[in-house]
Amino acid sequence: VPVAVAALLAAAGPAAAGPAGSTGSAGSSGTTGSTGSAGAGDPYFPLAGNGGYHVSRYDLTLAYDPKTRHLEGTAVLTARATQRLTRFDLDLKGLKVTGVTVDHHKAAHRRDGQELVVTPRTALREGREFRVTVTYNGVPGPVTDPDGSPDGWIPTDDGAFVAGEPQGAMTWFPANNHPEDKSSYDFTITVPQGHTAVANGVLRGQRTAHGRTTFRWCQSEPMAAYLATATVGKFKVEQYTTRDGLKVYNAVDPREAAKAAPVLKKLPSVLEWESRLFGPYPYRAAGSVVDHAPKVGYALETQTRPLYDSAPDLATLVHESAHQWFGDSVSLTRWKDIWLNEGFATYAEWLYAEQHGGPSAQKAFDQLYARPAGDGLWAYPPGDPGSGAKIFGTPVYARGAMVLHELRRAVGDRTFLRILRTWATEHRYGHGTTAQFTALAERESGKDLKSLFHTWLLTKGKPKKA
């Protein structure tokens, strides 16, 4: 895969065409003249995202037929140019593009691997807001990630399981497919009557006519493309508003309902508990989608509405709920920093167990620490997984949580919780990097934590105990 990517990047054009002084930059993300780059500059996924603009809003109008597996889509993106643009890319894999307009003018477009290259009639000046409309259709399917797992539009026997981390958004809509770019989303999804289409945020309306039902969903708080979903199936739907005014929408495949019910019942109390720890829940909507899908081997923290391929256990629900703060509201700028998502969500599981009659976090830590030096847990450091194939490995989740436990032991419980809460508050709806987190921990604790973080986050092999 890396070789093919390198070839694609080479084909994308010589950096030497750029103005003097701009060519030494970020390699893959370097822009050439007034052309938006083909990637956001993330070394793990060089073609993910695009340079030259930011998307503030996606309007996605979709129709899906589970029988034929045909998807019909219109995507309207409201974006702003961050440089002069004679040309820019969107990420879209597969599917057929039938038309592209930029500000209502027909735009030239071509496909190049996962890039949809758009040339507007006239160049867009820097700072200009513009609107891109893409009409497309076809039979979507998942991409295979570097670790071998499927992600994107995954057909099921009664619809589709739609999960996008890290790359899958581009399998069902044209996107600036990198968490660096966050946007609001409106979804209008039409499915055969009897099916339910579940996306993110608040359900704005549901109308049935001529044997088809249209669902309108609105995700107003910023969201990364990989957290979008449009999962379709025959679901049992449960809707209610919590005491805190949170709108909950659970969609459950009847085949999973009996097993899922006792866990889903705990969602409000889990979110309340996490709000006490991490600060206010970031969204107006909550809920879950429990599908009966081909086993994908993971759950996903789809924003406001985590997605499970079968009935989850409570620890998984706690994990995906914690991601609403860590991962969804506070997003990555580089996939390399993935421990900021997975280590934190895993540590939330430990804290939950500790405060609900289970083993202490110390016990969870000790059990892991007892693993021999050759164990996969120590295969690579969580702060530097090394490639996109390793971002969802045990070192990221388990040793990532161990980093936080070591931090807690070094600064004490009160300061530790203040660090977590301050992190979630200061970077709410935005982004955070590992360097920003370690700086915040030092600032809040007044301690020099460089060696702790260096040892636990970045050192190869099993760390020696301090």
Strands 142-144 and 129-138: unpaired
What is the three-class DSSP state of 127? coil
Using CB under 5 A as the binding rule, whether residue 55 contacts Zn ion is answered as no
Long-range contacts of 410-415 (CB under 8 A, 24+ apart): 410/445, 410/447, 410/449, 410/452, 411/441, 411/444, 411/445, 411/447, 411/449, 415/444, 415/445
Q: How far is the CB of 151 from ligand ARG (least distance, A)?
A: 4
Residue 149 binds which of ligand ARG, Zn ion, none (CB < 5-8 A, kind-dependent): ligand ARG
Cβ proximity to ligand ARG: between 88 and 283 the closer is: 283
Using CB under 6 A as the binding rule, whether residue 314 contacts ligand ARG is answered as no
Q: Which of residues 286-305 bind ligand ARG (CB under 6 A)?
A: 298-301
Residue 281 binds which of ligand ARG, Zn ion, none (CB < 5-8 A, kind-dependent): none
Token reading at 340: 């900021």
CB 34 within 8 A of CB 87: yes
Q: How far is the CB of 165 from Zn ion (least distance, A)?
A: 9
246: left (phi over 0), alpha (psi -120 to 50) or beta: beta
Residue 165 binds which of ligand ARG, Zn ion, none (CB < 5-8 A, kind-dependent): ligand ARG
Q: Report CA 364 to chain centroid distance, whole Å.
A: 27
Q: Which of residues 383-412 bind ligand ARG (CB under 6 A)?
A: 392
Distance CA 166, CA 173 (A): 14
Type of residue found at 86:
T
Element (H, E) at 136: strand 129-138
- Tell me how many degrees the CA angle 34-39-43 measures, rounded to the nearest 5: 135
Q: Report CA 445 to chain centroid distance, whole Å.
A: 30
Q: How far is the CB of 165 from ligand ARG (least distance, A)?
A: 5
Cβ proximity to ligand ARG: between 12 and 299 the closer is: 299
Residue 337 binds which of ligand ARG, Zn ion, none (CB < 5-8 A, kind-dependent): none
Q: Which of residues 20-49 bind ligand ARG (CB under 6 A)?
A: none
Contacts with Zn ion, 288-327, as mask; x by CB under 5 A: ----------------------------------------
Considering only 224, 345, 351, 404, the residue that binds Zn ion (CB under 5 A) is 345
**Residues facing residue 126 across a β-bridge:** none
Cβ proximity to Zn ion: between 45 and 344 the closer is: 344
Residue 415 binds which of ligand ARG, Zn ion, none (CB < 5-8 A, kind-dependent): none
Residue 300 binds which of ligand ARG, Zn ion, none (CB < 5-8 A, kind-dependent): ligand ARG
Using CB under 5 A as the binding rule, whether residue 330 contacts Zn ion is answered as no
Q: How far is the CB of 416 from Zn ion (least distance, A)?
A: 20
String of DSSP letters for 300-352: B--TTS-EESSPPPHHHHHHHHHHTTBTTTBB-SSGGGTHHHHHHHHHHHHHH
Considering only 42, 165, 274, 309, the residue that binds ligand ARG (CB under 6 A) is 165
Q: How far is the CB of 418 from ligand ARG (least distance, A)?
A: 25
Sheet with 236-241: strands ordered across: 236-241, 247-252, 285-290, 307-308
String of DSSP letters for 98-122: EEEEETTEE-EEEEETTEEEEE-SS
Q: Which of residues 4-23 bind ligand ARG (CB under 6 A)?
A: none
Using CB under 6 A as the binding rule, whether residue 235 contacts ligand ARG is answered as no
Element (H, E) at 404: helix 400-411
Cβ proximity to ligand ARG: between 109 and 319 the closer is: 319
Which residue spans within 139-276 are E strands per DSSP? 142-144, 150-156, 159-163, 182-192, 196-198, 202-209, 212-224, 231-233, 236-241, 247-252
Stretch that binds ligand ARG, among 142-150, 208-216, 228-236, 434-442 (CB under 6 A): 142-150
Q: Using CB under 6 A as the criterion, which residues of the chain lie in contact with ligand ARG when the complex forms?
A: 145, 147, 149, 151, 165, 298-301, 319-320, 323, 342, 392
Q: Using CB under 5 A as the criterion, which residues of the chain lie in contact with Zn ion when the complex forms?
A: 342, 345
